[in-house]
Amino acid sequence: MSERHMGLYAATTLGVGAIVGGGILALAGVAFATAGPAAMLAFGLNGGIALLTAMSFARLVRRFPESGGIYTYAKKVLSIEVAFIVGWVVWFASIVAGVLYALGFAAFTVEGLQRLAPSLGGSADWLGHGGTRIGLAIAAVVGYSLLLVQRTAGGGNAATIGKVVVFAVLIAGGFVAWLIGSAGTPAETLGRLSPFAPEGSLGLLQAMGYTFIALQGFDLIAAVGGEVRDPERTVPRAMYLSLGIALVVYIPLLIVVATVGAPPEGIQAAAEAHPEELVAVAAERFMGPAGYWLVIGAGLLSMLSALHANLFGASRVAFSMARDRTLPHHVGEMRARTGTPAVAVAATGTMMMLIAVAVGNVAAAGAASSLIFLISFAMVHWAAMLARLRSGHPRPAALPVIGGALCLGLAIFQAIAVPEAGRVVAVWLGLGAVLYLTFLAPGARLADASAQARDPDLVRLRGRSPLVLVPIANPASAATLADAAATVRAPGVGRVLLLSVIPREGRPAVSLDAVVQDAKDILGESVRQGLEGSGRPEALFTVASDVWSEIARVANSHRCDTVLLGLTRLTQPRVEAHLERLVSEIDADVVIVRSPPGWRIAETRRVLVPVRGRRGHSELRARLLGSLARSSEPWVTFLHTLPSGTPSDGRRRIERGIRRLARDEAAGPHEVAFEYTDDPVEPVARLGRECDLVVMGMERRGRGGPAIGAFALEVARRTDMPLILLGRRRQAGTLAARGLAQAVSTIPRPGQRSGS
């Protein structure tokens, strides 16, 4: 999938294959029974909503020309937790849509065989068995899964072209019948459209809610944006073309069905009598048996092409999620020979087969799919608004606001009108929450931390401006700390606050001017270094009796994300006590730098990372390594030490875990080293002398915050290389609560400017 192989034709046929599918054939009867001839207007209004949604998709795909569609956009402008929810439900919606089309293919196949069986002298009783339809549906899913594992192409299949041709023949046949008067005089034919809306506006809204899924499919083009050539231009054009082709097919077909295909008593009565096979019955009325078989042929081609498109698009959503660890990482593996996401295709196809077998009420699942797509499209409009606001525009565009309100309104109506849909969605969301919180969350948050470090624009798009607090007491360390702060912060988004604390007591009054001048010199040098590093430093003087308590006060009052400390005398006994008190009083990550004067972190080429297998500091390490990879991309060595007597079975298990951890944390080239020794400090000291920097995590003590720890202190005593210690902030609340808080924090407040 590294090569963009889809052009405008392939992308458009993918969308047409997904949209012009079983929806119109399966739902036309329901729509006419609900709204009468006004069902034509319902499809037209849904087309308008879909067009507004496609315009929001176009805004986003020009900004993020990647695969993943709605999931990718949610990940860019919201939190990773919200992105998982969006991706989880969108994946499910496409899976359920694929199930419906697979079962629809089976239904049309059985219908055709049952009509043929008597003329062939055979019995059709066995075709009525439910297992036959399930078997045909599974066979279709397996066939297309094998095809997508072998090939990367997602559009341009013959079924899509074939069904459009068949629909064109049906429409032409209907208009010929109207012109020659075989279905009655023009006045009689048009009279069947009266009354146009027998159920009023409520019936029209109901028909819109039931049939919106018939226009779903253009979003799959955005889901495969990473495989489209020139996606900024091609994807929007393909979405508009596929929607236009669908409406050019739908509206004339519905007109034909409601006029020349309707009995004298009107289309609503016919739809109530034949809700599922209305189009076939109507075609047979104005074209004879040939019309019936054309609808059967169109149905088979429609179901197969829509199944193919949904399987293709859903597998790419799963692939994108797996790359971000919001699905198991194995789902993101590629097949080397063909370059296809074989595991994602297999996982999606397997889910389709399981749901086809297990779901008792497929109609409720279909309604749930429509509900999910409406909610997801509302999220697309929201994401488009947020992306615009956070790109410097003072107010959102009107079209996403209107489109989002319409999608959300229809979704609420659908949830009320079909409560089974809400229950299906609730069950799926519950399963996703359990899976994420118990299994996926650590890896997802780790991958997200690394992504934010490597792409600071992601921080801005999420509406965050993280603040790094840098207390400075010595002008000699200003350059080193300013350089480290520039690496830790998010360029162009994050801010650096330089702090100089003037002690209130302990100095004679006559030296007050000198004390103030020292503070000015310290901050002046620090600001100069920050400006040279293309930063945007802010400076703060404070006066306090206790320097450490003042650092904690400033960190909390300014809601700092990170506190960066330069401690050259790390091994002094009093330092650890002061540090433990500091981290127990603040809610921020702590980064401690021990380095010689003049050392620059940006010049780092080799990094040693001793790890113990725990993931307590993984996010911090991933952020730091990602920040380093942004500029210098150093070679990283992950080192794990074990006692020399560790059994071989235990060694293999531990080594697998450490390699997994290194793969998740590394943002660039890396290796993993194992040392079996009873002196764990010795390998760190030995290998550290060959590196420019050693990065370690602090220990944790009970329910308190991080402490330097005996191991880090011993490493500091035995070595003189630059050393960075990382301490994770106190974890207050559950993972779900923190994720919800992050999601809520992304919502712009009245008068709030992006990035402020």
CATH number assigned to the domain comprising residue 541: 3.40.50.620
Q: Are residues 385 and 485 in the same domain?
A: no
> Higher model confidence: residue 710 or residue 506?
710
Single-letter residue type at 177: A
Q: Are residues 690 and 669 in the same domain?
A: yes
Q: Are residues 89 and 180 in the same domain?
A: yes
Q: Are residues 613 and 540 in the same domain?
A: no
> What are the backbone dihedrals phi and psi of residue 724, each rounded to the nearest 5 degrees, phi first?
-120, 125
Give me the mean pLDDT over the 169-173 stretch: 89
Q: Are residues 503 and 587 in the same domain?
A: no
610, part of any domain = yes
Give me the mean pLDDT over the 657-676 stretch: 88
Q: Are residues 552 and 575 in the same domain?
A: no
> Higher model confidence: residue 67 or residue 746?
67
Cβ proximity of 43 and 250 under 8 Å: yes
Give me the mean pLDDT over the 633-657 stretch: 87
> Higher model confidence: residue 494 or residue 231?
231
pLDDT band per the 50, 70, 90 thresholds, residue 747: very low
Q: Which pTM does this prediction carry?
A: 0.80
Cβ proximity of 21 and 217 under 8 Å: yes
Please give the pLDDT value at position 158: 74
Enter the tokens of residue 160: 């899509």
31, part of any domain = yes
Q: Are residues 208 and 156 in the same domain?
A: yes
Query: Where does a domain end: 546, 565, 584?
Result: 565
179, part of any domain = yes
Angle at 192 between CA 188 and CA 193, to 5 degrees: 125
Please give the pLDDT value at position 618: 85
450, part of any domain = no
503, part of any domain = yes
Tell me what the pLDDT averaged over the chain comes to.
Answer: 80
Please give the pLDDT value at position 749: 41
pLDDT band per the 50, 70, 90 thresholds, residue 141: very high
Please give the pLDDT value at position 128: 60
Query: Where does a domain end: 515, 542, 565?
Result: 565
Q: Are residues 434 and 306 in the same domain?
A: yes
> What are the backbone dihedrals phi and psi of residue 196, each rounded to the nearest 5 degrees, phi first?
-70, -40
Q: Are residues 508 and 643 in the same domain?
A: no
Give me the mean pLDDT over the 430-447 stretch: 88
Domain count, the chain: 3
Please give the pLDDT value at position 717: 84
Enter the tokens of residue 459: 């921080």
> Higher model confidence: residue 635 or residue 426?
635
pLDDT at 519 over 80: no
CATH number assigned to the domain comprising residue 32: 1.20.1740.10
380, part of any domain = yes
In this structure, of 19-23, 63-67, 235-239, 490-494, the range with the lowest mean pLDDT score is: 490-494
Dump pLDDT digits (tens) for 31-44.
888 888 998 999 99
Structural domain that includes position 648: 567-749
Instruction: Measure the CA–CA gap between 660 and 642, rounded to whole angstroms.
Output: 17
Dump pLDDT digits (tens) for 710-733.
888 888 888 888 999 988 776 544
Dump pLDDT digits (tens) for 398-412.
888 899 899 988 888
Q: Are residues 200 and 232 in the same domain?
A: yes
> Higher model confidence: residue 347 or residue 153?
347
Q: Are residues 140 and 184 in the same domain?
A: yes
693, part of any domain = yes
449, part of any domain = no
Cβ proximity of 443 and 329 under 8 Å: yes
Instruction: Count CA within 13 A, CB hemisphere, residue 206.
Output: 17
How many angstroms separate the most distant Cα atoms in the chain? 116
Please give the pLDDT value at position 183: 65
In this structure, of 687-691, 693-697, 730-734, the range with the lowest mean pLDDT score is: 730-734
Q: Are residues 676 and 585 in the same domain?
A: yes
Query: Where does a domain end: 565, 600, 616?
Result: 565
